[in-house]
């Protein structure tokens, strides 16, 4: 007998399905992702901290899980929802099934619901808080949820602290500085970790950067004491307006170092320069978002995961460089005077297309030009994939 499970939203909407993964209960902000593959990278992306992720593609888990596709040391999602999960891992790289992975790491899952109806509700009304609950949490796998149970779960979702207005980066940032494993390079870059994905560091290391990763609360003086040639500002979860310490740090460093920001890093740079951010109705999450590069006129298909955006009208010192072709929101910007630029999406993909990998090489060029390092050798392992 399949174990019953429910997803109860804060507005009282109930979706009945079946339990998957770790047995229990979990509450979070319910969002959706349109990627067809890459569920392991999504699960382990720290930017999903506090969120229950609904996959629009109906089948998940087909190719299993392996240690090489981890984007951090563990999953960060609060829950995982799909129309149907595979119990078997058919991929040649698989080391365990998706269900085994979720069970081992404590992620509560739900399957068998109408994900199309749920996604339409989120698209039309905006993101909502919700609770996934398994029958065994109430006593046994055969337990039938009562109206009183569903009412209590709705109240739990309603009371859960909203992501809006929360600084969630300390939960995912490294507690101590460390050097990312790589060959010692000639270009030292300090990485401000607000919830970084491993792929971002891998691409930079393969280009010859020596990466020193520091907590997001590291001061400007501590960063400059490391004598870096550049600064990288990572992605991360939560409301970008809340880590005000980061705004101050980036404002003080503006113009002192070539700087590249991704996702939350993009938003923090905008706020540091006096700009504003706003919360999107249902966010951008998927591997198929079209973005126009205003400098070249080219269209890039991008991987995205964010619930906030920078208001371009609030920026005085940055010019727009990329826009989203679905809703016209700002996807990239560059400082008018300093070698500082950022993008809202994820050029490292993982999962997703590699249309935007050239941005890492642009960062390399900015670092070299600023520090007079032109002519130093560049690692060639994957430079061909960067489009240079």
Can 263 be counted among the known catalytic residues? yes
95 known member of a binding site: no
Sort strands 14-21 and 108-111 into parallel, antiparallel or unpaired: antiparallel
Q: Rounded distance, CA 211 to CA 76, Å?
A: 24
98 known member of a binding site: no
Residues 6 or more apart whose CB falls under 8 angstroms from that of 125 comprise none
Can 229 be counted among the known catalytic residues? no
Is the backbone peptide bond immediately before 297 cis, with ω within 30 degrees of 0? no
307 known member of a binding site: yes
Q: Rounded distance, CA 268 to CA 310, Å?
A: 9
* Span between the terminal Cα atoms of the chain, in Å: 56
203 known member of a binding site: no
21 known member of a binding site: no
Q: What are phi and psi of 40, to 5 degrees?
A: -70, -40
* C-beta neighbour count of 222 within 10 angstroms: 14
Structure letter (DSSP) for residue 47: G
Can 331 be counted among the known catalytic residues? no
From the list 186, 255, 196, the residue with the least C-alpha distance to 220 is 255
15 known member of a binding site: no
Find the catalytic residue in 71, 229, 263, 266: 263
To which residue do tokens 């080219």 refer?
298
* C-beta neighbour count of 336 within 10 angstroms: 11
Find the catalytic residue in 300, 346, 354, 366: 346
* Helix (H) / strand (E) containing 370: helix 358-371
* Residue 273: exposure state from Cβ atoms within 10 A (0-12, 13-18, ≥19): buried
Reading the block at residue 138, the tokens are: 């109430």
Structure letter (DSSP) for residue 170: G
Q: Rounded distance, CA 287 to CA 33, Å?
A: 8
24 known member of a binding site: no
Helices (H), 115-180: 115-125, 147-159
Query: Helices 244-253 and 264-272 sit at what angle, rounded to 10 degrees?
Result: 70
Residues 6 or more apart whose CB falls under 8 angstroms from that of 179 comprise 210, 211, 212, 213
Find the catalytic residue in 10, 300, 348, 366: 348
47 known member of a binding site: yes
Residues annotated within a binding site for L-glutamine: 47, 236, 238, 264, 267, 305, 307-308
Residues annotated within a binding site: 47, 236, 238, 264, 267, 305, 307-308
Catalytic residues: 263, 346, 348
């Amino acid at each position: 007998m399949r174990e019953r499970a429910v997803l109860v939203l804060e507005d009282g909407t109930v979706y009945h399905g079946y339990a998957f993964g770790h047995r229990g209960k979990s509450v979070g902000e319910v969002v959706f992702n349109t990627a067809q593959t890459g569920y392991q990278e999504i699960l382990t992306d720290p930017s999903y901290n506090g969120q229950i992720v609904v996959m629009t593609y109906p089948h998940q888990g087909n190719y299993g899980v392996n240690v090489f596709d981890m984007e951090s040391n563990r999953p960060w999602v609060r829950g995982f929802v799909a129309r149907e999960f595979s119990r078997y891992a058919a991929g040649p790289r698989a080391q365990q099934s998706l269900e085994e992975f979720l069970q081992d790491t404590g992620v509560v899952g739900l399957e068998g619901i109408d994900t199309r109806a749920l996604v339409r509700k989120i698209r039309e009304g905006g993101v909502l808080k919700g609770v996934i609950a398994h029958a065994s949490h109430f006593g046994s796998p055969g337990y039938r949820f009562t109206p009183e149970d569903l009412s209590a779960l709705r109240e739990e979702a309603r009371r859960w602290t909203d992501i809006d207005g929360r600084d969630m980066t300390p939960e995912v940032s490294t507690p101590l500085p460390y050097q990312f494993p790589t060959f010692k390079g000639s270009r030292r870059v300090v990485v401000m970790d607000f919830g970084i994905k491993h792929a971002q560091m891998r691409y930079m290391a393969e280009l010859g950067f020596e990466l020193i990763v520091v907590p997001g609360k590291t001061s400007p003086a501590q960063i400059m004491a490391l004598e870096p040639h550049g600064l990288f500002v990572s992605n991360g979860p939560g409301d970008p307006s809340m880590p005000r310490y980061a705004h101050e740090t980036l404002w003080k460093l503006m113009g002192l170092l070539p700087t590249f920001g991704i996702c939350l890093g993009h938003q923090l740079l905008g706020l540091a320069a006096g700009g504003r951010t706003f919360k999107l109705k249902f966010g951008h999450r998927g591997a198929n978002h079209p973005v126009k590069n205003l400098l070249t006129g080219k269209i890039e298909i991008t991987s995205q995961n964010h619930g906030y955006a920078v208001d371009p009208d609030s920026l005085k010192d940055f010019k727009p460089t990329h826009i989203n072709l679905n809703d016209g929101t700002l996807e990239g910007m560059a400082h008018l005077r300093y070698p500082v630029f950022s993008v809202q999406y994820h050029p490292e993909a993982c999962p997703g297309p590699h249309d935007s990998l050239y941005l890492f090489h642009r960062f390399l060029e900015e670092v070299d030009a600023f520090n007079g390092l032109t002519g130093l050798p560049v690692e060639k392992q994957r430079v061909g994939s960067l489009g240079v």
